Chain A
Amino acid sequence: MKGIFVKLKHLAPSAAILAVGALTLSACGGTSATGEDTSGGDSDLQGTLTGIGASSQKAAMDAWTADFTSENSGVTVNYSPDGSGAGREQFLAGNAQFAGSDAHLDDDEVEAGKEACGADGAYEFPVYISPIAVTFNVEGVDELNLSPDTIAKIFKGEITNWNDDAIKADNPDAELPDLKITAVHRADDSGTTENFAEYLKATAEKTWDAEVDGNFPKDFGGEAAQGTDGVIQTVSDTDGAIGYADASAVGDLGTAKVKVGEEFVELSPEAATKVVDASEKVEGRGEGDLAFDLARDTTESGAYPIVLVSYHLVCSSYKDQETVDMVKAWEKFVVSEEGQKSAADSAGSAPLSDDLRSQIETVIDSIKVEG
């Protein structure tokens, strides 16, 4: 044993060097993403907020936490993008202070919310509206009008050529080439696919006879691509391709105008916001429950109906005043003009309308301490 100690003594210098090295590294370690000191802010909120939920909100959440913590340096906001279902479940089990979800609570979950959050149950409100673009790459065609039924037929594989009569009928002025259509869809399970399918199911039910699901229906054929980037890449590389993807990722590619009522609506943040304003609230819910039945088949002028709407779920009451203050400050920031603009810049989402914002703010104001 003595021998070992003697040998360990030989190791001591190198161990010391390692330790010193580690300390130096830790000493020069900055604390923020830009290397600037972030310990500013004039609020005295202290604590940790934990959220679990939809990965669709992740980019927006990054932007919100970055801006929120720069103003409230005492607060740490954690968000684990485990998925909408996991988020709702963990939130209702009391493991997170808030949740992000691409779908609103169903009736059973509303009941569970009363158990987790007190008599008024859980509050939910939309915070993230992300338009989904129908993007195409056809040489010589810059503008494209498509009716829901045509889109459904293209992605189902029933329309296979760009000079098909159905497309011509929507685009009387365009010169459509004799070119094979390559319909590109997501290979992976995704909220984008689910919302796109939901739109087609609502507007072209006869053609789109598949179940609405995060996975693209296998029988419909077409080209599969991995992730949003994969879809965009495939569409850009293939002449005659058409695909659907989050609007923020489209870049220079053309985006189709979609038929709503009697007109064709171009994709824009304002148009995406409009469809939420035109939607009805889910019936039979409490005052703090701003869940919407999205009016995919709206005829509202200027509304763009292919959108992904993601909610935040919070409790109507929390155990202590500090948590209430933190949740209020956080959610108010998320829906504020500043917060929505930050998400729009970073994640390409569409900001909430002023009308909806004031409704949400009323809900947030009514969060209180339990008891």
Chain B
Amino acid sequence: MLTSSNNTITKSRKLTSKQLPKATPWIVAVASILVAILISFIAFGGFNIPVVAVLAGLINLVAVFVLSASYEGRRKATDRVATTLVTSTFILACVPLVSLLWLTISKGGAAISGDLLSRTMLGMKGVLDQQYVAGEASLAGGFYHAIVGTVLITLAACIISIPIGVLTAIYLVEYAQKNRLGKAITFLVDVMTGIPSIVAGLFAFALFSTLANVLMPGSAGIAKTGFTAAVALSVLMIPIVVRNTEEILRLVPMDLREASYALGVPKWKTIVKIVLPTSVSGILSGVTIAIARVIGETAPIMVTAGFAKALNWNLFSGWMSTLPTFIYDSQLRPVSPGSAALASSERAWAAALVLVALVMLLNLLARIIAKVLAPKAGR
């Protein structure tokens, strides 16, 4: 039926209005960019990227409207302008992302090496960097300890916050039924979402240093551990996990639950065997978003875990470094100030690349898990 109506339209051309060829928007766009470059050269005496971008966008918009209005009519022209506007905004939104990725990959890629990945900063001093800048030695130091720290602290934060977050969400959706406690929890979770990360760090540090002081007076300093950092990250992570899981659980059709109840299955079993399996892929992607959010946190880690230079596998004792604090420290306070600060900067870029890769890998992993665990449709 569809094909036949299509055929009628193609046969009776008179019924359709005049239309610009499909490639027109792209040709107009390229032409606008060229004109913008020309104007930039004439008016500003050179190639000026922001000027060209803004000009090209405006010229493109006007050109599309004029061209379309004169050929296809006003209604079609308005539609085309809307399409162009949406596409331009999308490209605009991509600019920072692409430029950030490009900068990280080009700068980090140039600096990264197996040595950087497998060494720590133990025994690192300015002279080694000066030798590197002078071309007498290869780049010393590395951030293996920071990779280990990032993975361990994030893992510990997950172990704390995923059960709490998921169970809270189950309570809110399945048990609370909008009672007072449920409303109070929802409100508190909303407040928690807005907590600045540094406050979470200070909270965790204050909690553990007070605890250490009570147990062993004068030992508040030992509260700076990877575990304290994990608690700080959990404070940031729990509200995100709760929010995401709640949304997903609400999407599970009521029919499924009712069908289960009708068969005499108790509530807890319905949740464990029907609701959770149905929504597991969504829950996992929510968790991944939460991890990606906290893995790049700098401020709470600085307060709670310090700046370690050596490898530390123990979450419960001693300072730890993570990739964000390593980047911050290297860039702001180079091992060798002055001209050899370049070497610290190179290490920081390489670490930034690893961090970005880690987050991307996590996202990929979540996609795969979600796909494998997703309930089969159409049964």
Contact = CB atoms under 8 A, between A and B. Distances in A.
Interface of A: 1, 3-4, 7-8, 10-11, 14, 22, 25-26, 28-35, 38, 48, 50, 55, 58-59, 62-63, 65-67, 69-70, 76, 78-81, 90, 93-97, 228-229, 232, 246, 248-251, 319, 342, 345-348
B203 interface: no
Closest 3 A-B residue pairs measured CB to CB? A346-B126, A249-B338, A33-B124
Contacts of B334: 59
Contact of A63 (B125, B224, B307, B368): B125
Given A3-B375, A11-B372, A94-B221, 14 more contacts: A1-B277, A7-B373, A29-B119, A31-B119, A31-B120, A33-B119, A38-B123, A48-B318, A58-B333, A66-B123, A81-B329, A229-B341, A345-B127, A347-B126
Main secondary structure of the interface of A (DSSP, over half): helix
Contact of B123 (A8, A26, A59, A69): A69
Contacts of B219: 94
A33 B142 contact: yes
Nearest to B361: A18
B338 A251 contact: yes
Q: Which of B118, B140, B333, B337 has the most CB of A within 10 A?
A: B337
A32 B338 contact: no
Interface stretch (B21-29, B72-80, B187-195, B308-316): B308-316
B338 to A, nearest CB: 4
A50 B368 CA distance: 44
Given A78-B319, A94-B221, A31 B126 contact: no
A195 to B, nearest CB: 15
Contacts of B272: 1
Contacts of B233: none
A246 B338 contact: yes
A3 B218 CA distance: 54
B142 to A, nearest CB: 7
Contact of A55 (B125, B221, B319, B333): B333
Contacts of B338: 228-229, 232, 246, 248-251, 348
B353 to A, nearest CB: 16
A131 B241 CA distance: 52
B318 A59 contact: no
Contacts of B142: 30, 33
B127 A28 contact: no
A28 B118 contact: yes
Contact of B307 (A25, A59, A80, A251): A80
Interface string B120-141: 1111111110100000000011
B128 A33 contact: yes
A239 B80 CA distance: 54
A38 B121 CA distance: 12
A63 B126 contact: yes
B59 interface: no
A228 B336 CA distance: 12
Given A34-B123, A59-B334, A69-B123, A78 B307 contact: yes
Q: Which of B115, B151, B339 has the most CB of A within 10 A?
A: B339
A32 B123 contact: yes
Interface in B244-275: 272-273
Contact of A3 (B277, B311, B335): B277
B221 A95 contact: yes
B221 A50 contact: yes
A4 B278 CA distance: 10
A35 B141 CA distance: 8
Contact of B310 (A3, A7, A26, A31): A31
6 contacts: A30-B118, A33-B120, A33-B121, A35-B118, A50-B224, A66-B122
A31 B329 CA distance: 19
Contacts of A28: 118
Contacts of B359: none
B119 A35 contact: yes
Contacts of A30: 118-120, 142, 144
A234 to B, nearest CB: 15
Nearest to A228: B337
B301 to A, nearest CB: 12
Nearest to A38: B123
A68 B36 CA distance: 61
A94 B213 CA distance: 10
Interface in B319-353: 319, 329, 333-339, 341
Interface in B196-235: 209, 218-221, 224
Given A93-B220, A94-B220, A347 B336 contact: yes
B280 interface: yes
B369 interface: yes
Nearest to B341: A229
B130 A346 contact: yes
Interface in B77-119: 115, 117-119
A132 B141 CA distance: 28
Contact of A59 (B128, B218, B335): B335
Contacts of A251: 338-339
Nearest to A250: B338
A249 B339 contact: yes
B372 A76 contact: no
B372 A10 contact: yes
A249 B334 CA distance: 12
A97 B337 CA distance: 26
A63 B125 CA distance: 4
Contact of A78 (B306, B333, B375): B306
